[in-house]
Amino acid sequence: MGRAVTRIEDVPDETLVAALARRDQRALAQLVQRHGGWAARFAERMTGSPHIAEEVVQNAFLRLWNSAEHWEGRSRFTTWFYRVLHNLAVDELRRRRSSHEELDEGLEDPAATPPQLLEQERNAARVRAALERLPERQRAALVLRHYEGCSQGEAARILGISEGALESLLSRGRATLREQLRGELH
């Protein structure tokens, strides 16, 4: 009897990280394919810019490549990777603010659309802009819970805080968003 061949698509993330420690480029490619999409969406929501988000995601995968042998696997890979992305996004925003660079808005003009779709896009842009004005930790909590669909426990672990502290961040973030958007949206 021959040995069953495991397809790389079926290999768990943790096994792929172990393969990265041995410099297996196929493992990195699989992790990028598997997680690159949500990582880019998360980073863009955190930074407000697709260009900055691209840098953040590339740096996160580079960090993974360079430190795979040190990964201890105490949490799920995705929890750990969200944390890396969050920290890199916050660091990048702070770096850009401290050097007085303006953040790229990243908002494209919508193509000719029916008026209702145009209004929805305008509302979405207002919400994105209001989200970008939130303090970083409140923004991260809201993005993880409402955009990324993380559970309360997972979002708290990613941010390195208790679930109670996460709930507090969510509550304050929602209240601030409501105040900022009051009267703007109908």
Torsion-angle region of 160 (φ positive above 0: left; ψ -120 to 50: alpha; else: beta): left
| Domains, the chain, ordered by start | 8-106 (1.10.1740.10), 108-186 (1.10.10.10)
Query: Could you report how far apart the first and last alpha carbons of the chain are, in Å?
Result: 67
CB of 43 closer than 8 Å to CB of 85: yes
pLDDT given for residue 180 in this prediction: 86
**Amino acid at site 94:** R
Positive/negative CA dihedral, 24, 26, 28, 30: negative
Q: Per-10-residue mean pLDDT for the chain, 186 residues long?
A: 68 91 92 94 90 92 89 84 91 73 44 62 81 90 88 90 92 88 67
Query: In 3D, which of 90, 35, 87, 86 has the Cα closest to residue 61?
Result: 35
DSSP state of 24: -
Q: What is the DSSP string of 48-109?
A: S-HHHHHHHHHHHHHHHHHHGGG---SS-HHHHHHHHHHHHHHHHHHHHHHTTPPPP--PPP
pLDDT given for residue 2 in this prediction: 52
pLDDT given for residue 149 in this prediction: 85
pLDDT given for residue 72 in this prediction: 82
DSSP state of 23: T
pLDDT given for residue 10 in this prediction: 85
